[in-house]
Structure 1
Amino acid sequence: MLRFVGGVTGLALQILPSGGRSWILRVKIGEKRRDIGLGGYPDVSLAEARDKAREIRSLIEQGIDPIQHRKRQRSALVAEQKRGLTFAVAVERFMKRKAPELSNDKHKEQWFSTLRNYAVPELGDMLVDDITTQDVLLVLKPIWEEKTETASRLRSRIEMVLSWAQANGHRTGDNPAKWGGNLKELLPSPAKIKKVTHRPAVAVADVQAWFASLRKRRDLTARALELLILCCCRSIEVRLSVWEEFDFDRRIWTVPAQRMKTRVEHRIPLTNYAVSLLKAVPHHANSPYVFAAPQGRALHDDDLSGLMRSMHASELKRGTDGWLDPRSGLPAVPHGLRSTFRDWAAENNYPREISEMALAHKTGSDVERAYQRSDLLERRRQQLVSWNEFLHAHPSSSVVEFRRRT
């Protein structure tokens, strides 16, 4: 039952059989009669109902459908609520999407720890739609000159998080973390202030003696490190290698794209030395890994690093200076062995592109790479044969019996 109350044409109190009461405005919109609800009584008073009714009639007089108008307002509110995402939540959601693209747990932790440690404390509680260039600067400025490489990566990662947020409807406008035409004008160029630090490497003059010392060690980790320097690999390429990757007939080791830094499959020519080493490694019954620890797990990165620290310490006990990088004076690390190879290649006049391919580095422009389809495998094989022969040339570099680590 409707009881019209006056004050505004069409305003009525609807009384339901259950006793409930609500305000209704009966109006004509175009050619249709509509009953528009204004809320329940007594939560909405008569005065409030009349005010709402007047607003609706005003919209109709302006040619606006009040029902569609209300729907648009509701949609705008929902959209605004969806955009109401904090930076901290955006980071966590972006991490779930980004994580599968990263090669290993260590890389994932490094990637996300920069956001958690530097950006979230400053921006975490802010809505992504409210973040401005000045807010991003508050994060970057304190570490831009002191930790330039970290800060540069952090800026890129903030930009990616905000780009993801915009693509998902949580923010609008320009990305406040973009470099060109934005932060580039406010911060010094990383190239001008970045202190280039290279991983400490064994000197070319010392590497034969270092290699001879390595070969005297009979444990599994030593063999993994030996393959690393013979093939000029990264640690992850060796540690996670499985037997199926090695074609001993063709003497090729194919490292899958997901384990390569460039995300491109990499073929490594195997020398006689590398083949002999691999064939001497016992197969682990409960593990697919070539260099499987006793429990069947893959070696950790620190297993190889720890071995090099041990080798350095042994030299110090013998009264020598140990295995030091000739430039920095720091003890050499596994990744630095790739620099040792690169220095040797340069000293022996090997073409740059051959050496860079051996290290699985990208060479040339995108256009040049598009036309350079060959990976120059056989030319790289010749280079690795020479490199391996150079490493074995030390008088004390004799073959030792392999003994599995227990």
Structure 2
Amino acid sequence: MARAGDRLTATRVKSLLDKGQVGRHPDGNRLYLVVTGKGRGWWMLRYMAETRSKSGKPLSREMGLGAADPDSVDGYTLAEARDRADQARRLLRDGIDPLAQRKADEAAKKREAEMRRTFREAAEACIAAKAPEWGNEKHAAQWTATLTTYAYPTLGDLPVSAIAMEQVKDVLAPIWTKKAETARRVRGRIEAVLDYATVHGWREGPNPARWKGNLALALAKKSKVAKVEHHAALPWKEVGAFLTTLQGQSGTAARALEFLILTAARTGEVIGARWSEIDLAGAVWTVPADRMKAGKEHRIPLSAQSLAVLAPFAAARAEGEGDGFVFPGQFAGKPLSNMAMLKVLERMKRTDLTVHGFRSTFRDWAGEATHHPREVIEHALAHLLKDKAEAAYARGDLFQKRIALMKDWAEFCSKAPATVSELRPVVVTA
């Protein structure tokens, strides 16, 4: 221990730092100035902890008390360092390890800050974490859009730790009966965000957006407030007449719609199709997993009629270069808009139909007018089999059988509607 006359002074501290006299310089009562270089140093308190070594001896610990440069953000003067050392010694007298207490205080401050995290911040973190799992930018955009529109005005700036069922009800009540399907998705997304926050320690307690045993007791069942909405579909017996009319429409979007009908594919799969996915010689279109709803690669047999739709686009591509979109949009390097085929239906004055509904038309035709097995039809639509036992045995994609199915479909679609001439009475003259 340094004697009173040997204790540090403010002038001595400045001199040691200016000269860069590296080493430990005692101030007394186990407080040291530790100089690490010219103008660099920090305050350190040594003490004997209650924790003991394996031999039973108390452990010596060293506790930093901040930088010795009073002009730095965490810097302290000699007087301030002595005061901080006294605070640590008082804790020791009370049987508290000052280093352990410091860690506990820092953890408490961190936890307090985390509990102040807002719903918007938690939602953004949740979406960023789940985006690789989705593998589809559109899905992440839908989450952001629905939460921005419906949840953020009420919950956005609230700490996730403070959100209760009443706030969740305030979000859902205005849209629960008017926009039932949207409300269902919003509720599920709020629940997911709050679960994410709980897992990360940003909130505690049950999830106020949970449906079963919670909101189910406060809001009407979805089945009671809205009918299940199906995509408007063309009756399968009318598809031949429709396709004949569609073939009279010009433009890339019309051909894309014709191709979609013949392949029973989804809008996103068709407008995102690239030539690298198309094997014209093998008559197969392989849609990569990252563009499939089920996240699994899907092979689609191409009928002669489907190949005929692609022929003029393939010829035009032969004059260019690169792996472009099969159905290019108005701007170079961009695909068709996902609204382009819907616009074709509007021009045809068929606003009673939806593009996605043609998959239902195909499904109805296959189920009612053919003897093709159900699992072959489901594979053609890239549906996951709901029966787990059945799915376990369905290891292949039934491609050979789907060739016959899609050939039959294309031939059925290509049948011209029957025409009936007006019957006139025959006048026989004498």
User: Into which bin does the TM-score normalised by the smaller protein fall?
Assistant: 0.7 to 0.9
- Equivalent of 2:123 in 68, 91, 95: 91
- Equivalent of 1:129 in 161, 165, 169: 161
1:258 corresponds to: 290
**Which consecutive residues of structure 2, in runs of 5 or more, have no partner in the other structure?**
15-26, 31-46, 51-57, 67-74, 420-430
Structure 1 Cα separation of the partners of residues 184 and 210 of structure 2: 11
Counterparts of residues 183-262 of structure 1 (less than 5 Å) = 183-262=215-294
- CA drift of 1:271 comes to 1.2
User: 2:329, 2:337 within 8 Å by CA — same for their partners in 1?
Assistant: no
For 1:306, the aligned partner's letter is K
User: 1:25, 1:36 within 8 Å by CA — same for their partners in 2?
Assistant: no
Q: Find out whether 1:304 has 2:298 as its counterpart.
A: no
Q: Deviations over 1:180-216 (max 9, x none)?
A: 4433343333344342112222222332111001112
- CA drift of 1:18 comes to 6.7
Q: Find out whether 1:354 has 2:376 as its counterpart.
A: yes
User: 2:240, 2:415 within 8 Å by CA — same for their partners in 1?
Assistant: yes
Structure 1 Cα separation of the partners of residues 216 and 366 of structure 2: 37
Counterparts of residues 271-282 of structure 1 (less than 5 Å) = 271-281=303-313, 282=315
3-state SS, counterpart of residue 301 of structure 1: coil
3-state SS, counterpart of residue 199 of structure 1: coil
- CA drift of 1:363 comes to 2.0
Root-mean-square deviation (CA, aligned residues, Å) is: 3.6
Q: Find out whether 1:386 has 2:377 as its counterpart.
A: no
- Residues 67/291 of structure 1: CA separation in 2 closer, same or farther (3 Å cut): closer
- Equivalent of 1:288 in 319, 324, 331: 324
- Residues 366/25 of structure 1: CA separation in 2 closer, same or farther (3 Å cut): farther
Counterparts of residues 3-152 of structure 1 (less than 5 Å) = 16-17=10-11, 30=50, 57=90, 59-60=91-92, 62-102=94-134, 106-152=138-184
3-state SS, counterpart of residue 289 of structure 1: coil
- CA drift of 1:388 comes to 1.1
Q: Find out whether 1:366 has 2:403 as its counterpart.
A: no
3-state SS, counterpart of residue 339 of structure 2: helix
- CA drift of 1:393 comes to 0.8
1:342 corresponds to: 363
3-state SS, counterpart of residue 17 of structure 1: helix
For 2:367, the aligned partner's letter is A
User: 2:3, 2:28 within 8 Å by CA — same for their partners in 1?
Assistant: no
3-state SS, counterpart of residue 300 of structure 2: strand
User: 1:237, 1:260 within 8 Å by CA — same for their partners in 2?
Assistant: yes
- Residues 71/2 of structure 1: CA separation in 2 closer, same or farther (3 Å cut): farther
User: 1:2, 1:15 within 8 Å by CA — same for their partners in 2?
Assistant: no
Structure 2 Cα separation of the partners of residues 231 and 80 of structure 1: 56
Structure 2 Cα separation of the partners of residues 139 and 294 of structure 1: 39
- CA drift of 1:112 comes to 1.5
Structure 1 Cα separation of the partners of residues 404 and 128 of structure 2: 44
- CA drift of 1:338 comes to 1.3
- Residues 115/368 of structure 1: CA separation in 2 closer, same or farther (3 Å cut): same
3-state SS, counterpart of residue 121 of structure 2: helix
- Give the % identical residues: 38
Structure 1 Cα separation of the partners of residues 387 and 352 of structure 2: 35
Q: Deviations over 1:24-51 (max 9, x none)?
A: 988875556999979979999xxxx79x
Larger radius of gyration: 2
For 1:341, the aligned partner's letter is F
Q: Deviations over 1:147-185 (max 9, x none)?
A: 221111112211222233333332333333233443334
For 1:301, the aligned partner's letter is N
- Equivalent of 2:397 in 339, 351, 375: 375
Structure 2 Cα separation of the partners of residues 237 and 198 of structure 1: 20
Moved more, 299-308 or 155-164: 155-164
- Residues 28/248 of structure 1: CA separation in 2 closer, same or farther (3 Å cut): closer
User: 1:60, 1:66 within 8 Å by CA — same for their partners in 2?
Assistant: yes
1:326 corresponds to: none
3-state SS, counterpart of residue 348 of structure 2: helix
Q: Deviations over 1:303-329 (max 9, x none)?
A: 1111111011xxxxxxxxxx4xxxxxx
Structure 2 Cα separation of the partners of residues 352 and 34 of structure 1: 74
Aligned residues: 366
Structure 1 Cα separation of the partners of residues 201 and 28 of structure 2: 36
3-state SS, counterpart of residue 148 of structure 2: helix
3-state SS, counterpart of residue 401 of structure 2: helix
TM-score normalised by structure 1 residue count:
0.77
- CA drift of 1:72 comes to 1.4
- Residues 68/241 of structure 1: CA separation in 2 closer, same or farther (3 Å cut): same
1:160 corresponds to: 192
Structure 2 Cα separation of the partners of residues 377 and 283 of structure 1: 29
Structure 2 Cα separation of the partners of residues 396 and 25 of structure 1: 107
User: 1:25, 1:53 within 8 Å by CA — same for their partners in 2?
Assistant: no
Moved more, 175-184 or 27-36: 27-36
User: 1:25, 1:37 within 8 Å by CA — same for their partners in 2?
Assistant: no
TM-score normalised by structure 2 residue count:
0.73
User: 1:202, 1:336 within 8 Å by CA — same for their partners in 2?
Assistant: yes
1:331 corresponds to: 352
User: 1:254, 1:267 within 8 Å by CA — same for their partners in 2?
Assistant: yes
